[in-house]
Chains A and B, each alone.
Chain A
């Protein structure tokens, strides 16, 4: 029980009080676990991640983080707020939302400066990330001039520099070319890291690598299945019902046929 970082019980949330986004979600996140959240568009994945980051709060039900129930009021306590922000980092789905400073360098440094982390530690992390993400040439550039792949790298760097214990990623590989995707996954899935990783994605190719447990969100905005990646990715019916199966259409001489593409076939 001591290892539980987040615990959600029957969580409901709606936007403007009338557009439901989460309808009875139960979820437990253990320390050091790697969780993938998959589901169709509009199934509530991003809402869940923002709730885990203490940006929105349940209309009904409870969410506990590090033993404390998350409510708007607890973030009025400056110590709790600063401690929580140091421990939990969220990479937003849209990097344009996250990159608001005049230069890439300032954007990366924004978080640790707000949290008043130790200067020496900031400089070390900064140097490491710049090297690891190969973004030396981008540092003095305004974020709006970057490509989508570069923006995403910078957005990830802007969170990793805070070295959070829990890293939450909202579709980190959306819109990226295969090589950049590979690079980012390698960085995030560092085997020596003990970080808790919570990733929302549509990219079933990466699910096995980034997770030990997969939660599938249904159109009814609740978790419809959970389990090990191998089990979930083999369940063709489950994937099909939740708009997650990849249908590939081929042409063989004069005939065209379509079939689903499973992502763990090579293990068979």
Chain B
């Protein structure tokens, strides 16, 4: 019974997480620093900052970049607790697990700083190992933070339209936008189907049955998505779509946007200068 509840909780939890994380534009709608920037300039600046993080080999520089992310989050009216939860869950934790072996002498020989006895094995932690693991971790954390900032403070359609400015093919941008829109519809279908099954059969009596219900749901959804795909295409053709979608460009950049772009450019320059000239 508990395992069956696990299926239900997983299904409901996944849907709630998707709705809250992917479709919520609460932060993007606020009036604050990053939200007020032109999406094209914001995207270009974030890309430059990401490059700066990727090229840098200085841990203090990376720590500074992470501090900048936190500062940007606060100045963009993003609750710090929410931001840390979004950035620390999954990717940085995952990368930490990847980086952990690197702290041991087996993988990174160097100056010993501590010894551990684990399952009868004697493991030595090296200073060089700690440095490379920390370096890897903070680089991932900062990169993820920058991406989360971009996504949280930009309405998804503005972000997609900004991609067009960088010559990403319109078909790709439009397909991404439609995926976003229809994932929501499919989530609703899954929720309603699950509720309909529950209302008819009550609590699913066994895990095996529960798995079967999930499988039916997936099968049904696949069929619906196939039908929907044909209908949506017809609706597009009906309104004159011939394969190359056209849209309106309504962006406008102001002085603050160029200032922000220039700052990001300077930071990238600083990173490159540190990496290739100073060292």
Which A positions have Cβ atoms within 8 angstroms of B?
50, 53, 55, 78, 81-82, 85-86, 89-90, 92, 94, 96-103, 106, 109-111, 113-116, 142-144, 158-159, 162
Q: Is the Cβ of A144 less than 8 Å from the Cβ of B181?
A: yes
B contacts with A: majority SS: helix
Query: How far apart are the CA atoms of A72 and B240 in the complex, in Å?
Result: 15
Q: Is the Cβ of B228 less than 8 Å from the Cβ of A97?
A: yes
Q: Is the Cβ of A92 less than 8 Å from the Cβ of B231?
A: yes
Q: Is the Cβ of B246 less than 8 Å from the Cβ of A114?
A: yes
What A residues does B182 contact at CB under 8 A? 100
B 236-279 to A, binary, CB cutoff 8 A, 1 in contact else 0 = 11111110011110000000000000000000000000000000
Q: Is the Cβ of B181 less than 8 Å from the Cβ of A114?
A: no
What A residues does B247 contact at CB under 8 A? 106, 109, 113
Query: How far apart are the CA atoms of A113 and B184 in the complex, in Å?
Result: 26
Query: How far apart are the CA atoms of A103 and B236 in the complex, in Å?
Result: 15
Query: How far apart are the CA atoms of A47 and B115 in the complex, in Å?
Result: 76
Question: Which of B160, B184, B239 meets A110, CB within 8 Å?
Answer: B239
- 16 A-B residue pairs with CB within 8 Å: A78-B242, A82-B240, A90-B235, A92-B234, A96-B228, A97-B234, A99-B181, A100-B236, A101-B181, A110-B241, A111-B239, A111-B240, A114-B239, A114-B242, A143-B181, A158-B239
Residue B101 is within 8 A (CB to CB) of chain A in the complex: no
CB distance from A102 to the nearest CB of B (A): 3
- What number of B residues sit within 8 Å (CB to CB) of A? 28
Which B positions have Cβ atoms within 8 angstroms of A?
23, 155-157, 160, 177-178, 180-182, 184-185, 228, 231-232, 234-242, 245-248
Q: Is the Cβ of B240 less than 8 Å from the Cβ of A85?
A: yes
What B residues does A162 contact at CB under 8 A? 239-240
Q: Is the Cβ of B156 less than 8 Å from the Cβ of A102?
A: yes
What B residues does A109 contact at CB under 8 A? 247-248
